[in-house]
Amino acid sequence: MQGQLFDNLPEQLSPMPAGAAHPIGPGAMHLPGFIGTHAAAILATIQAISRQAPFRHMMTPGSHAMSVSMTNCGLLGWITDAQGYRYSRTDPATHMPWPPLPADLETLARAAAAAAGYPDFRPEACLINCYAPGSRMGLHQDRDEADLSAPIVSFSLGRSATFLWGGARRNDPVARIILQQGDAIVWGGPSRLYFHGIAPLARRCAPQEPELRYNLTFRRVTHLALRDEGGTR
């Protein structure tokens, strides 16, 4: 998991050539095709991670199974159960640490963050979502991270989906952005707590379309300064 996964990763964390990168909100960018030729390697990496930490439908604190199945890699993993939404160092299914975040994947996530104006991003957690036909993710905010100064970096793989991009309030207007394999979205700064989600995937796939969609979100959870000073973690 720690070896070199991708060919031709940028040596510097400079923006990779991408499609027409465009802002979708204050501090938020859509980077179409950012992942480029690395998609196949990332899909293989997801399969390797899921052999150690299998995808599962976690339960919400209100006892509903999530529509999307999830796993994690990195120092911390996002979990939900009757005790609430939170990050854990270990996988509750195996009681083992989550598989490490592969160095090449971290490099690519940091390059996407840099391309969107966040050169200091250091992810600690990578939540991996798997969307089967019919699955969805309702509008929500990502607010379980102690450090809200860091952006969220999101990579899309497999089947296309409609990203719902709202605003700071739940009932703000919602834009619909098609995310295709290889796209990255980064949101931080004033957009960090914007509501977002994924519209239900159609139950039927178009011919040639992959059945499953994968999404990786890279997150900073703890405060970098505290961590470097030997603070809380």
Beta strands per DSSP E along 114-187? 125-131, 137-140, 152-158, 161-165, 175-179, 184-187
Cβ contact 9:107 at 8 Å: yes
Distance in Å, CB of 156 to ligand AKG, minimum:
6
Query: Contacts with ligand AKG: how many residues (CB under 6 A)?
Result: 11
d(CA 25, CA 190): 8
The mark string for 147-166 relative to ligand AKG (x by CB under 6 A, - otherwise) is -------x-x------x---
Distance in Å, CB of 139 to ligand AKG, minimum:
9
Distance in Å, CB of 47 to ligand AKG, minimum:
18
Q: What are the tokens at 81?
A: 């159960």
Q: What are the tokens at 92?
A: 């509750």
Which residue is nearest to ligand AKG, using beta carbons?
A: 215
The two beta strands, 28-31 and 22-25, are antiparallel
Neighbours of 105 (CB within 10 A): 27
| Residue among 193, 217, 195, 1 nearest 129 (CA) | 217
d(CA 81, CA 66): 10
Residue 127 interacts with ligand AKG (CB under 6 A): yes or no:
yes
Site for ligand AKG in 171-200 (CB under 6 A): 196, 198
Residue type, 149: S
Pick the closer one to ligand AKG by CB: 104 or 142: 142
Which of 41, 58, 130, 137 binds ligand AKG (CB under 6 A)? It is 137
Which of 91, 104, 106, 142 binds ligand AKG (CB under 6 A)? It is 142
Pick the closer one to ligand AKG by CB: 54 or 231: 54
The mark string for 14-33 relative to ligand AKG (x by CB under 6 A, - otherwise) is --------------------
Pick the closer one to ligand AKG by CB: 6 or 155: 155
Judge residue 77's burial from the number of C-beta atoms within 10 Å of its C-beta, 0-12 exposed, 13-18 middle, 19 or more buried: buried
Site residues, ligand AKG (CB under 6 A): 127, 129, 137, 142, 154, 156, 163, 196, 198, 215, 217
